[in-house]
């Protein structure tokens, strides 16, 4: 089931720095790529998502970069804050109702103050 | 965004008993809901896809007789862990997708089997 590879496994960033998490997928039928943020003991929360018809999407401090030919996408967190410390998951699916998401293994981000 | 409510948030049970977890879509109708399982510091693994009015579709390796799923209405899906054992202890999370994109998750249920 592991069709989405995520790296790094863990990341430590200074406050104000840029956090970068990368994902690669295998299934060319995937056309919806979200990122989720999860705090301990909570369900994942949708941060930002992208479709392959665009190469970049920005929402506030969060940016997704998408490279369709390389089958890779990444999350950039600008001006990282201690409150961003959480586990981040990339995911992929076909963008159809009734289709489940396949998740990467997650990246634990720690932002030091 | 859409709201998915999951209950209970935490349950402790004795080995051999059954536990039911409820998942409700509060502001939309969900023909399909998804059940995931997450072990500590690991990813979310899809267990099954719950379909309203029909049988659930289970992922390879998931025992359908142990993890009973019922999706009796457009807003409610339940997962029953039957004859629970300590190895079933995990974080179970339901989710639903109102349309073709955003998938919303419940808050999860931490199951501990003693």
Instruction: Report d(CA A73, CA A88) in Å as an integer.
Output: 14
Q: Is A98 on the interface with B (CB under 8 A)?
A: yes
pLDDT for res B1: 67
pLDDT for res B52: 87
pLDDT for res B102: 82
B99 pLDDT above the threshold of 80:
no
Instruction: Report d(CA B90, CA B99) in Å as an integer.
Output: 28
pLDDT for res B30: 87
Residue A50 CB neighbour total at 10 angstroms: 20
Give whole-number Cα distances, B69 to B21, B24, B37, B55, in Å. 10, 13, 14, 8
**A107 near A80, Cβ under 8 Å?**
no
What would you report as the CA-atom Rg of chain A, rounded to the nearest whole angstrom? 13
- What are the tens digits of pLDDT across the range B26-78? 988 888 999 999 998 899 999 999 988 889 999 999 999 999 999 989 999 99
CB < 8 Å to B91, chain A: 41
Q: Do A103 and B41 touch (CB under 8 A)?
A: no
A1 pLDDT above the threshold of 70:
no
Q: Do A97 and B99 touch (CB under 8 A)?
A: yes
Phi, psi of A83 (to 5 degrees): -65, -10
pLDDT for res A100: 86
- What are the tens digits of pLDDT across the range A19-75? 999 999 999 999 999 999 999 989 999 999 999 999 999 999 999 999 999 999 999
For B57, half-sphere exposure in the C-beta direction (CA atoms, 13 angstrom radius) is 10
Give me the residue from B46, B93, B107 closest to A100, CB to CB: B46
**A91 near A104, Cβ under 8 Å?**
yes
Model confidence at B24, pLDDT cuts 50, 70, 90, reads very high
For chain B, which residues lie within 8 Å of any Cβ of chain A, measuring from their own Cβ?
Answer: 1, 4, 6, 31-32, 34, 41-46, 49, 51, 59-60, 91, 93, 95, 97, 99-108, 110
Give me the residue from B6, B91, B101 closest to A32, CB to CB: B101
For A23, half-sphere exposure in the C-beta direction (CA atoms, 13 angstrom radius) is 29
Interface A-B, measured as beta-carbon pairs within 8 A, has a size of 69
Model confidence at A8, pLDDT cuts 50, 70, 90, reads very high
pLDDT for res B100: 67
Residue A30 CB neighbour total at 10 angstroms: 20
- What are the tens digits of pLDDT across the range A64-103? 999 999 999 999 999 999 999 999 999 999 867 668 899 9
């Amino acid at each position: 089931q592991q069709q989405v590879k995520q790296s790094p496994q863990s990341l430590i960033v200074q406050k104000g720095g840029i956090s970068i998490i990368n994902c690669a997928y295998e299934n060319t039928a995937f056309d919806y790529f979200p990122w989720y943020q999860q705090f301990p003991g909570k369900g994942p929360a949708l941060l930002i998502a992208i479709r392959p018809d665009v190469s970049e999407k920005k929402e506030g401090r969060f940016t997704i970069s998408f490279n369709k030919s390389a089958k890779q996408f990444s999350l950039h967190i600008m001006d990282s804050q201690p409150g961003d410390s959480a586990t981040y998951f990339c995911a992929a699916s076909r963008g159809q109702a009734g289709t489940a998401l396949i998740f990467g293994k997650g990246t634990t981000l720690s932002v030091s103050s | 965004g859409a709201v998915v409510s999951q209950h209970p948030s935490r349950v402790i049970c004795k080995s051999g008993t059954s536990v039911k977890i409820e998942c409700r879509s509060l502001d939309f109708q969900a023909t399909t809901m998804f059940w995931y399982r997450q072990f500590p510091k690991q990813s979310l693994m899809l267990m099954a896809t719950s379909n309203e009015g029909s049988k659930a579709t289970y992922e390879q390796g998931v025992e359908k007789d142990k993890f009973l799923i019922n999706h009796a209405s457009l807003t409610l899906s339940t997962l029953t862990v039957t004859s629970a054992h300590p190895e079933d202890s995990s974080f179970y999370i339901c989710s639903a997708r109102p349309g073709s994109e955003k998938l919303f998750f419940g808050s999860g249920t931490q199951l501990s089997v003693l």
